[in-house]
Structure 1
Amino acid sequence: MFELRKLPYAKDSMGDFLSPVTFDFHYGKHHQTYVNNLNNLIANTEFANSDLFAIITKASGGLFNNAAQVYNHDFYWDCIAPVASEMSSELKDAISNDFGSLDSFKEAYINAATGLFGSGWCWLVYNLATQKLEIVQTSNAATPVTDGKVPVLVVDVWEHAYYIDHKNARAAYLEKFYNHINWKFVSEAYEWAKKEGLNSVGFYINEIHKKS
């Protein structure tokens, strides 16, 4: 059985970025529902004793959707923090090299997240084939992991992620998101992506969802 992960901060710690009410709904209801659905869907199937990474990379349909949404949300909660931290010099150099500058990256990332049609996610990923960082949009529950790309940063642009606090102003939500990025975590994700590739995703998932 999978369980809803613990938040790494208090739900009232995000100021005007995300309110406790948003956490009550987004984390306490939406994320919890994906966990509940996943547990129900794997019962009495070949995935009953599988870890989450295996389910994400091997399942399809509703089972994939719920498993991927558990991971996508797990990762999103770690990508934000009450106060933005400093990125590592290694990540700073990589972003500057692959996007021209930190400012150019911010503009490109926010534009991609703002322009994603409908519900989904906007990612910064490490492309194992090119050994470069790139911005990837995914719709609904899709995750770059299934394309062999390693997530480094993600923002949730499903409407339920921001509507309570920012109504339909996705761009305003994204500006505040950028000021709350947990660059320490993102830097570590980049470091591990370079060292371990997709295995780093499995390590991350299994650390959160330890099998008893």
Structure 2
Amino acid sequence: MAYEVPSLTYSFDALEPHIDARTMEIHHDKHHAAYVSKLNAAVEGLEVPACICELISDISKLPADKQGAVRNNGGGHANHTLFWEIMAPGGASAPSGDLAAAIESDLGGFDAFKTAFSNAAATRFGSGWAWLCVKEDGKLCVCSTPNQDNPVMKGIAECAAKPILGLDVWEHAYYLNYQNRRPDYVAAFFNVINWDVVAAKYAKAKG
């Protein structure tokens, strides 16, 4: 089987002015597509699961000469797939329901979560991602990973958990519009989060 870049459920310009159309187009059609192309080349001839998160969850099971490519490109595919899903134009400004209650109990409330998440994104050195995740005990946590590492990667990720919200802080995600002002990009991201999707992912991760 071959992995594919998922289609967006909104237009490239739908997230403006927070994320500009040209960045979205390049990010989705060029960067994500490149990860998928390289991933498919790496796993050609192997029996791989349809779910990309299952593939990257235990990279040690793969042949040694494939592990680096799957870590980087499989991670890139999984991370970007989640990224597109959890954004939408005109979404709610904050979560509600069970997710809001969990953020309150596990992270000290929405403002505390927003501060922790923004700090994780802004202080990730070089390239990487900031995450809101569900740990094995069902509690929420905020963390970041370098490069295209994903929290589901056993023995690799700095935080072992299931991500339900992720923010790409590679420069290709924001440089056209924000240049070196990563904190401004991080702040703008909160205007385009689809909290309904994040809440659904939270419920699924909790089981």
Fold shared by both chains (TM-score > 0.5): yes
Cα separation, 2, equivalents of 1:11 and 1:18 = 9
Instruction: Kindly indicate whether residue 187 of structure 2 is the aligned counterpart of residue 175 of structure 1.
Output: yes
TM-fit CA distance, 1:58: 3.4
Instruction: Kindly indicate whether residue 18 of structure 2 is the aligned counterpart of residue 17 of structure 1.
Output: yes
Q: Which amino acid aligns with 2:181?
A: A
137, 142, 145: which one aligns with 2:149: 142
CA RMSD of aligned residues (A): 1.4
TM-score (norm 2): 0.88
Cα separation, 1, equivalents of 2:189 and 2:24 = 14
Cα separation, 2, equivalents of 1:110 and 1:31 = 23
Q: Which amino acid aligns with 2:26?
A: F
185, 193, 199: which one aligns with 2:197: 185
Summarize the Cα distance change of 1:105–1:58 in structure 2 as closer, same or farther, 3 Å threshold: closer
Contact 2:53 2:152 in 1 (8 A): no
TM-fit CA distance, 1:136: 1.2
Aligned residues: 192
Cα separation, 2, equivalents of 1:178 and 1:32 = 25
Instruction: Kindly indicate whether residue 91 of structure 2 is the aligned counterpart of residue 91 of structure 1.
Output: no
Cα separation, 2, equivalents of 1:125 and 1:88 = 17
What does residue 206 of structure 1 align with?
none
Instruction: Kindly indicate whether residue 175 of structure 2 is the aligned counterpart of residue 163 of structure 1.
Output: yes
151, 159, 169: which one aligns with 2:163: 151
Q: Which has the higher helix share?
A: 1
Cα separation, 1, equivalents of 2:102 and 2:54 = 30
TM-fit CA distance, 1:10: 0.7
Percent identity of equivalent pairs: 36
Q: Which amino acid aligns with 1:192?
A: K
63, 68, 71: which one aligns with 2:78: 71
Which consecutive unaligned segments of at least 5 residues does structure 2 have? 60-66, 155-159
TM-score (norm 1): 0.86
What does residue 50 of structure 1 align with?
49
TM-fit CA distance, 1:57: 2.2
Which consecutive unaligned segments of at least 5 residues does structure 1 have? 196-212
Cα separation, 2, equivalents of 1:18 and 1:164 = 10
Cα offsets for 1:122-156 (capped at 9, x unmatched): 00000113x21000110001100124411111100
Q: Which amino acid aligns with 2:174?
A: Y
